[in-house]
Amino acid sequence: MHIKSAEFITSAVKSSQYPPPDLPEVAFVGRSNVGKSSMINCLVQRKSLVKTSQTPGKTQLVNFFLVNGCMRFVDLPGYGYAKVPKSVQQQWGPMIETYISQRPNLCGLFLLMDIRRDAREEEGQILQWLMEKKLPVRLVLTKADKFSRSAAQNRFKILLEQTGLEKDDLLLFSSVTRQGRDEVWSLVSSMTGI
Ligand code: GTP
Ligand code: MG
C-alpha cells in the first residue's frame, strides 16, 4: 500500500465522541506496551504519528487516524497494566468492548501480543467478543526481532496451541525490522475492501 497521508483525527472515551461511521475501520488492541502504537507508525511509515512510550499505559483513549483519506486505523487503550490507577483500568474494558461490539464500520481487528508473553484471560475474552460479532481477527505476535527466526517460530507454535486459533490467524511482526508489514497491509486491504 502506498501511503499518501496519515493523520490523527480524534480521541474518544465514549461512542458519542467517535467520528461518524462513514469509513471502514481497522482496530489494534492488546496488552499495554505490546507495540500497538509502534505498529501503526510502522504501517503508515511515520515515526511519530502515534505517541509511543517505554512506559506501559501510554494510550488511554480510543484514538482514530485517517489513512489515505479512505480508511481509519483505531488505536485502542492497552489493557492489563497494574500501575495505572484502578479507576482508569476499570474504564478500559468497557471502552474496548463498547468500540468492538457497537461500531458498525469496524471491518477487522488485530489483536497484538508480545511474542515473549503467554496468552491470558483477556486475550481469550477479546477473541470471544470478535467471534460473537463474526469479525475477522488476526493475532499479531509483536517484537519478533527479540528472537532468532527459529525461536520465533517456536513461540508461534506455542501461542497457536494456547489460543486454539488456526495457523493463518497468527503472524509474526516487528516494527523494528518491519517483518510482517506487507502481510498486514494485504490483510487490511481484504478486511476493508480497499
Ligand atoms: P500502550 O499505549 O501503553 O498500550 O503501549 P503500546 O502497545 O502502544 O506500545 P508502544 O508502541 O508504545 O511500544 C512500547 C515499547 O515497545 C516502546 O519502547 C517501543 O519502542 C517498543 N516496541 C514496540 N514495537 C517493537 C518491536 O517490534 N520491536 C522492539 N524491539 N521493540 C518494540
Ligand atoms: Mg500506545
Domain span at residue 111 reads 6-192
* Domain contains 1: no
Which residue's C-alpha comes closest to atom 30 of ligand 1?
Answer: 143
94 has pLDDT over 90: no
Say which CATH number the domain at 15 has. Answer: 3.40.50.300
156 has pLDDT over 70: yes
> What are the φ/ψ torsions at residue 62 (nearest 5 degrees)?
-85, 115
63 C-beta closer than 6 A to ligand 1: no
- Of 62, 59, 23, 7, nearest to 38 by C-alpha is 59
With the most atoms of ligand 1 within 8 angstroms of its CB, the residue from 29, 33, 110, 184 to mutate is: 33
pLDDT tens profile 34-72:
999 999 999 999 888 888 777 766 667 899 999 999 999
For the CA atoms of 21, 61, 122, 82, what is the dihedral angle to 10 degrees?
180
pLDDT of residue 56: 66
* Domain contains 176: yes
Rounded Cα–Cα distance for residues 89 and 131 (Å): 24
- Of 98, 102, 34, 20, nearest to 64 by C-alpha is 20
32 C-beta closer than 6 A to ligand 1: yes
> What are the φ/ψ torsions at residue 192 (nearest 5 degrees)?
-95, -15
Q: Which atom of ligand 1 is nearest to the CA of 174?
A: 27
Mean pLDDT in the chain?
91
The H-or-E segment that residue 97 falls in is helix 86-102
